[in-house]
Amino acid sequence: IPEKSIVFSLGLHNEISFEKELQRITNNCCYIYGYDYFRQKDKTIRELTEVRAVTIAPRTNEKKDEYTIDYLMELENVTSIEILKMDIELAEHGVLPPFLDKQRPAQVMVEIHTYPSELVVMAKLVHEIARRGYSLISYEINGAHHDCSEFSFIHESAFERYGAIPMARFLD
């Protein structure tokens, strides 16, 4: 991961093991911005570059503390994101595709929520991400909540930087 990389972690839930491990293996070379609907514990706040209690939404509404990812980037004076990690409880469906139309994080890690009767909705979002130049690099069903699955993607523009070798494009 390049030095001084920006990581946006959306939906912390006071659980930052990923963020701490990322900092450990990269010798603290990242700036990690965390966002969650609920105020985080002081210990969580101390571990990250910035933590804000906000709701990630398709449209910004400052009165309700609802913000788009683009708006948060402007607020933090960030022009690009290396890693976008999100677990925002169904909001990913309305938030992620429009964001990826404007921005190209090198990696996207997203927990996609859906109802068992609507698995096609999950498949549609995965396809929407792939259509924007992303390849699937990891997939895992959430062991505790089977209506959620965790997906990791890398953008084609970051293949060389991360040594990724595409084997097949099966999501197109």
Q: Which residues pair with 139 in a beta bridge?
A: 151
How sure is the predictor about 172, in pLDDT bands with cuts at 50, 70 and 90? Answer: low
142 near 149, Cβ under 8 Å?
A: yes
pLDDT tens digit sequence for 42-71: 877 777 777 878 899 999 999 998 999 999
Q: Indicate the range of 14-23, 62-71, 141-150, 156-165 predicted with least confidence.
A: 141-150
Residue 148 counted as domain residue: yes
CA distance 50 to 32: 7
Residue 168 counted as domain residue: no
**Three-class SS state of 102:** helix
Residue 169 counted as domain residue: no
Residue 68 counted as domain residue: yes
Could you tell me the maximum CA-CA distance found in the chain, to the nearest angstrom? 47
CA distance 136 to 170: 9
Tell me the mean pLDDT in the region 9-20. 85
How sure is the predictor about 167, in pLDDT bands with cuts at 50, 70 and 90? Answer: confident
Residue 171 counted as domain residue: no
Kindly report the CA angle at 122 between 52 and 150, in degrees rounded to 5? 55
CA distance 121 to 111: 13
96 near 109, Cβ under 8 Å?
A: no
Q: Which residues pair with 110 in a beta bridge?
A: 86, 151
pLDDT tens digit sequence for 110-143: 988 776 667 788 888 899 999 999 999 998 877 7
Residue 147: what pLDDT? 74
The answer on pLDDT for 145 being more than 70 is: no
Structural domain count, the chain: 1
Percent of the chain with pLDDT over 90: 54
Residue 167 counted as domain residue: no
Tell me the mean pLDDT in the region 86-106. 91
Kindly report the CA angle at 94 between 90 and 99, in degrees rounded to 5? 120
Q: Give this prediction's pTM.
A: 0.90
Domain that holds residue 26: 5-162
What's the CATH number where 88 sits?
3.40.50.150
